[in-house]
Amino acid sequence: MTLKVYASLLLLFLVNSVWTRTVRQVYDELDPEHWSHYTSECPRECFCPPSFPNALYCDNKGLKEIPVIPARIWYLYLQNNLIETVSEKPFVNATHLRWINLNKNKITNNGIESGVLSKLKRLLYLFLEDNELEEVPAPLPVGLEQLRLARNKISRIPEGVFSNLENLTMLDLHHNSLLDSALQSDTFQGLNNLMQLNIAKNSLKKMPSSIPANTLQLFLDNNSIEVIPENYFSAIPKVTFLRLNYNKLSDDGIPPNGFNVSSILDLQLSHNQLTKIPPFNAHLEHLHLDHNRIKSVNGTQICPVSIAIAEDYGLYGNTPRLRYLRLDGNEIQPPIPLDIMICFRLLQAVVI
């Protein structure tokens, strides 16, 4: 299970390098005699490196509008400009675009021409972070794999905006203005292959409903969540990395076995209001509980298996897998209780 999870995450985070390597194979085969042709097509405001013929660098140029994009371009860099509108005209010939970076501009929803994004049929990566968006733009390219909308002013998600995005693996909405009312039971419907969902730094008071079942990473830090519903994680049986730091979780807000989930390997509950360590599964490897209100820790009570089993070296398969435990910022005084070490034989670091 662990190997499969890490393999999936490796695919998610290293996919960019795979694209780069593939494209560079094309560069190596490029005939230098064609370089002048590529340079003549290059918009005067931008940079077209001869050794990178599928890329167009228009970042940090003070641009107020998008220049006409040549047909050969796969990778378009427009970040750190003053662009307010995304219209169809610059993209008429750009039918091979895979990647668009429009981070740190001044784009609003009204500035995006209707249907312009969905017409980019081959687009896989769309970055619109640090703009002026108030809702998720729609419609979107159906083949999209990553959508990054962090640090906007998004408070609304149009109905059905994700319904056809079956290939989307990463959705980043962190640092926006989402309330609980913005996340309906069908908001994420259609995201059948989503692996990472980031809704940190919003204004949520409840756990979002109907998270896609294949989600591996769920980030909900810096909200105002107080309660974990009973059996919440049974609907997302593959969740591996769960971050709930900087919320308002108390002991009463966590069901008795709320985090006793075998798929969770990394659980982060830092900066909450817990006074005791909640029960967790023997498969858990990293546990962050720093800066809560915990006064003491009892290894016998928190051990996912009985201490008698933990002491038996012959039952290695039942040994709890916890390797990292963080408890600093509480009211716990060293030394580390001996029964902690007896239970968690694989423990490599404890921070108190």
Which residue reads 């750009």 in tokens?
94
Is pLDDT at 86 greater than 80 in this prediction?
A: yes
Is pLDDT at 151 greater than 80 in this prediction?
A: yes
Least confident of 115-124, 285-294, 339-348: 339-348
Specify if 45 maps to a domain. Answer: no
> What is the reported pTM?
0.88
CATH code of the domain containing 81 = 3.80.10.10
Task: Give tens-digit pLDDT for 20-49.
Answer: 444 333 344 444 445 444 556 899 999 999
Mean local confidence (pLDDT), 103-120: 97
The total domain count for the chain is 1
Specify if 163 maps to a domain. Answer: yes
More confident residue, 337 or 82: 82
To the nearest 5 percent, what fractions of the chain are helix, strand and coil? Answer: 20, 15, 70
The residue type at 230: E
Mean local confidence (pLDDT), 229-258: 97
Least confident of 83-97, 233-247, 265-279, 335-349: 335-349
**pLDDT the model gives residue 306:** 81
Mean local confidence (pLDDT), 75-91: 98
Specify if 114 maps to a domain. Answer: yes
**pLDDT the model gives residue 207:** 98
Task: Give tens-digit pLDDT for 309-337.
Answer: 656 554 555 789 999 999 999 999 888 88
Specify if 171 maps to a domain. Answer: yes
Beta bridge partners of 172: 148, 198
- Pinpoint the alpha helices (H) of the chain: 2-28, 35-41, 299-302, 307-311, 338-343
**pLDDT the model gives residue 25:** 39
Arithmetic mean of pLDDT over the chain: 89
Helix (H) or strand (E) holding 147: strand 146-148
Mean local confidence (pLDDT), 293-303: 92
Contacts 24+ apart (CB under 8 A), 178-183: 178/154, 178/202, 178/203, 178/204, 179/155, 179/203, 179/204, 180/204, 180/205, 180/206, 180/208, 182/155, 182/156, 182/157, 183/157, 183/208, 183/209
Specify if 297 maps to a domain. Answer: no
Rounded Cα–Cα distance for residues 263 and 238 (Å): 6
Specify if 158 maps to a domain. Answer: yes
Specify if 277 maps to a domain. Answer: no
Domain with 220, as residue range(s), is: 71-225
**pLDDT the model gives residue 39:** 57
**pLDDT the model gives residue 145:** 98
**pLDDT the model gives residue 334:** 84
**pLDDT the model gives residue 186:** 95
**pLDDT the model gives residue 112:** 98
For residue 49, give Cα distances in angstroms to 32, 54, 60, 111, 163.
Answer: 12, 9, 16, 30, 38
340 secondary structure, DSSP code: H
Which residue reads 């047909």 in tokens?
71
**pLDDT the model gives residue 9:** 57
The residue ranges of DSSP E strands in 212-329, in sequence order, are 217-219, 241-243, 266-268, 286-288, 324-326
Beta bridge partners of 196: 170, 217
Percent of the chain with pLDDT over 90: 79
pLDDT range class, residue 266, cuts 50, 70, 90 = very high
pLDDT range class, residue 13, cuts 50, 70, 90 = low
Mean local confidence (pLDDT), 1-28: 49
**pLDDT the model gives residue 335:** 87
Specify if 20 maps to a domain. Answer: no
